[in-house]
Amino acid sequence: MPARMYTKAQVSLHNKRTDCWIIIKDKVYDITSYVEEHPGGDAILEHAGDDSTQGFFGPQQAAGVFDMIDDFYIGDLVL
């Protein structure tokens, strides 16, 4: 099955704690269910509805986050 495609405008609508999508390396993730568990607290919301690639690969990222992120994948970004 082909990946679902989302525009940046579509992703930008999901920019709050109760509806939180992010973009990482042109992949779209619905992390709404993870927001409250994030060890960095509200820092995860800084890029809600936007590209979070830099933050995701930053020095503060926790071990195991690379394995976990696939669970939240919902589609690809239209380039």
Give the model confidence (pLDDT) of 21-49 as tens digits.
999 999 999 999 999 988 788 988 999 99
- Grouping H, G, I as helix, E, B as strand and the rest as coil, residue 16 is strand
pTM as predicted: 0.90
Residue numbers of the domain that contains 53: 5-77
Q: What percent of the chain has pLDDT over 70?
A: 94
**Number of domains present in the structure of the chain:** 1
Instruction: Tell me what pLDDT residue 12 has.
Output: 98
Give me the mean pLDDT over the 43-58 stretch: 91
The band of 65, judged by pLDDT with boundaries at 50, 70 and 90, is: confident
Q: What angle do CA 70, 52, 19 make, to 5 degrees?
A: 75
